[in-house]
Amino acid sequence: GAGVSQSPRYKVAKRGQDVALRCDPISGHVSLFWYQQALGQGPEFLTYFQNEAQLDKSGLPSDRFFAERPEGSVSTLKIQRTQQEDSAVYLCASSLGQYNQPQHFGDGTRLSIL
């Protein structure tokens, strides 16, 4: 079956622009996660949804970061007034919902802020 799909794969933006990153999880997966992966590092948690409810946004680095999942499937991560330090790969993952179920990752969006 289809895996987690993220778009765009690559995004270049000028500092100060707003960007939107999309994630299509695996059908039927209740839980959806966003991670930020800096070069040479492991993924770092940003936010977590269970269906349409955003249950944890403790990892969002600033109020410029906003995520939504209005119908409990597709999710969008929005970054306003981008800064150079926002340059990273943004990974989306989905899972069946139980805490110890493996998360299935998309290939990520590589964001470069000029």
Partner 1 sequence: AQSVAQPEDQVNVAEGNPLTVKCTYSVSGNPYLFWYVQYPNRGLQFLLKYITGDNLVKGSYGFEAEFNKSQTSFHLKKPSALVSDSALYFCAGPNYGGSQGNLIFGKGTKLSVKP
Which residue in 18, 20, 21 sits closest to 80, CA to CA?
18
Q: What's the closest the beta carbon of residue 77 comes to partner 1, in angstroms?
A: 15
Do 13 and 113 touch, CB atoms closer than 8 A? yes
46-65 residues near partner 1, rule: CB under 8 A: 48, 50, 55-56, 58-59
Nearer of residues 8 and 18 to partner 1, judged by Cβ? 8
**23/9 Cα distance (integer angstroms):** 11
Which range of residues in 13-21, 63-71, 74-82, 88-96 is near partner 1 by CB under 8 A? 88-96
